[in-house]
């Protein structure tokens, strides 16, 4: 039997996150991301039967800025990824890395009991 230390997602995750409403404009989202120095925004559920969404700053660059869309007139819900692939904070980081690789993602909300 091995005595390897298991590294959990909670041990390596970013402590700061920003949750936003999908109706927020991209401009407002960028402002919050800069203020809190985050590279992703978690989009709140609209109700108990909904799922979380996520918007990466990369999504904003590709879907808004590169297409000459106005950030002040584009809502977060128009460009978010939903449902966001969420991970449990107690997941082994090794399996989380495999999940990220399999789905081609770089960030995911860490949701406990959610």
With CA atoms as reference, report the closest residue to 90 among 57, 113, 70. Answer: 113
Inter-residue contact 55 to 43 (CB < 8 Å): yes
Which pLDDT score, from 0 to 100, does residue 85 have? 95
Which pLDDT score, from 0 to 100, does residue 84 have? 96
Q: Mean pLDDT, consecutive 10-residue segments, the chain of 114 residues?
A: 85 94 98 97 96 97 96 98 96 97 95 78
Which pLDDT score, from 0 to 100, does residue 4 have? 83
Question: Domains in the chain, please, with CATH?
Answer: 16-85 (3.90.1280.20)
Tokens (6 digits) for 3: 């005595």
Which residue has tokens 């990824």?
Answer: 81
């Amino acid at each position: 039997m091995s005595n390897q230390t298991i590294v959990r997602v909670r041990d390596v995750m970013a402590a700061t996150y920003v949750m936003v409403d999908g109706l927020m404009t991209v401009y407002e989202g960028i402002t919050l991301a800069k203020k809190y120095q985050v590279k992703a925004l978690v989009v709140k559920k609209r109700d108990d039967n909904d799922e979380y969404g996520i918007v990466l700053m990369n999504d904003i660059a590709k879907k808004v800025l590169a297409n000459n869309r106005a950030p002040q007139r584009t809502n977060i819900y128009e460009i978010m990824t939903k449902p966001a692939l969420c991970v449990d904070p107690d997941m082994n980081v090794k399996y989380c890395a495999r999940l990220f690789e399999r789905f081609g993602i770089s960030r995911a909300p860490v949701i406990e009991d959610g």
